């Protein structure tokens, strides 16, 4: 009878531990990441149309800093498979006075007349991530992103205003490396990029992250976004730099 009771007790403890582990795993399946901080532009060239338009270097009007924010949500199916959805808005407005006339998408802005130039590049992405293995210290993840860009360049002067909108789909490849430096300290490198004859796009971040609790991480680091397109309709290339403060919440 004592052996039966002991077996029942051990079985109950194992089942309870398994249930608690499953519950903890379920609680950590979802994750919310938030980033914010200052950003700068060291290149922001615009020529619309790509052939025949006037080249504008918006970074020469104002390099920044500009405030940015982005948010992403994760759902992890298991240790190897996950989805990540990202919303990354970006918009800056700079003021400049061109020396000569500016031909912008068929509209001429007279030289010597100041105008406000707005550059918007909002990014919406859905990524699939695959982690082949986890060895306790290094996590190496691969995947791909389906990106929708919502781009807009607008000039607003005293005598006229005009905007050029461009919405399109961009596929990206993804690689992510996480290394445990200590029980609470982690290094992170996350890269999404792809190049093609039509243009290129790179979004990479290097961060140092600290685990405050089982349910929250914070981090600091650097992010770089670069890319653009060059064709008959449009030439746009930007190189943006971000100082990142981040927080991640697991639930």
Give the span between the Cα atoms of 68 and 35, in whole angstroms. 8
- pLDDT number for residue 35: 98
Instruction: Kindly report the backbone phi and psi dihedral angles of residue 196, in degrees, each rounded to the nearest multiple of 5, phi listed first.
Output: -150, 165
Please choose, from the candidates 200, 250, 222, the residue with its C-alpha nearest in 3D space to the C-alpha of residue 68: 222
What does the block give as tokens for 1?
Answer: 């009878």
With beta carbons less than 8 A apart as the criterion, state whether 33 and 72 touch: yes
Q: Give 141's strand partners.
A: 176
| pLDDT for residue 151 is more than 90 | yes
Mean of the per-residue pLDDT values of the chain = 90
Please choose, from the candidates 94, 144, 121, the residue with its C-alpha nearest in 3D space to the C-alpha of residue 226: 121
| pLDDT for residue 88 is more than 80 | yes
- pLDDT number for residue 203: 98
Q: How large is the average pLDDT for residues 27-43?
A: 92
| pLDDT for residue 28 is more than 90 | no
| pLDDT for residue 30 is more than 50 | yes
| pLDDT for residue 34 is more than 50 | yes
- pLDDT number for residue 197: 86
Q: Give 161's strand partners.
A: 156
Number of Cβ within a 10 Å radius of residue 13: 10
What does the block give as tokens for 101?
Answer: 């006339």
Which residue has tokens 């992103």? 145
Residue 17's pLDDT band (boundaries 50, 70, 90)?
A: very low
pTM of this structure: 0.86
Rounded (5°) CA angle 88-90-94: 175
| pLDDT for residue 31 is more than 80 | yes
- pLDDT number for residue 123: 97
Asked if CATH classification 2.40.128.90 holds for the domain at 30-250, the reply, yes or no, is yes
- pLDDT number for residue 4: 43
Rounded (5°) CA angle 86-74-146: 40
What does the block give as tokens for 243?
Answer: 């100082």
Distance of CA 212 to the CA centre of its chain: 23
Please choose, from the candidates 178, 182, 240, 172, the residue with its C-alpha nearest in 3D space to the C-alpha of residue 207: 178
What does the block give as tokens for 5?
Answer: 């009771």
| pLDDT for residue 124 is more than 70 | yes
DSSP type of residue 249: E
Residue 15's pLDDT band (boundaries 50, 70, 90)?
A: very low
- pLDDT number for residue 8: 37
- pLDDT number for residue 22: 40
């Amino acid at each position: 009878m004592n052996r039966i009771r002991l077996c029942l007790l051990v079985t109950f403890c194992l089942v309870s531990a398994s249930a608690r582990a499953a519950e903890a795993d379920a609680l950590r399946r979802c994750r919310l990441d938030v980033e914010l901080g200052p950003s700068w532009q060291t290149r922001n060239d615009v020529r619309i149309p790509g052939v025949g338009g006037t080249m504008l270097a918006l970074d020469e009007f104002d390099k920044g800093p500009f405030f940015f924010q982005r948010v992403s949500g994760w759902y992890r199916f298991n240790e190897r498979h996950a989805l990540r959805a990202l919303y990354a808005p970006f918009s800056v407005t700079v003021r400049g006075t061109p020396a000569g006339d500016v031909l912008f998408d068929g509209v001429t802005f007279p030289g010597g007349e100041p105008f406000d130039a707005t550059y918007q590049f909002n990014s919406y992405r859905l990524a699939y991530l695959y982690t082949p293995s986890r060895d306790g210290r290094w996590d190496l993840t691969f995947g791909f992103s389906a990106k929708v860009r919502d781009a807009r360049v607008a000039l607003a002067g005293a005598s006229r205003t005009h905007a050029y909108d461009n919405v399109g789909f961009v596929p990206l490849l993804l690689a992510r490396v996480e290394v445990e430096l200590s029980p609470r300290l982690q290094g992170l490198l996350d890269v999404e990029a792809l190049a093609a004859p039509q243009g290129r796009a790179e979004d990479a971040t290097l961060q140092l992250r600290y685990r405050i609790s089982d349910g929250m991480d914070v981090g600091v680091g650097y992010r770089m976004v670069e890319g653009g397109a060059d064709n008959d309709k449009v030439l746009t290339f930007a190189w943006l730099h971000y100082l990142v403060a981040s927080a991640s919440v697991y639930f």
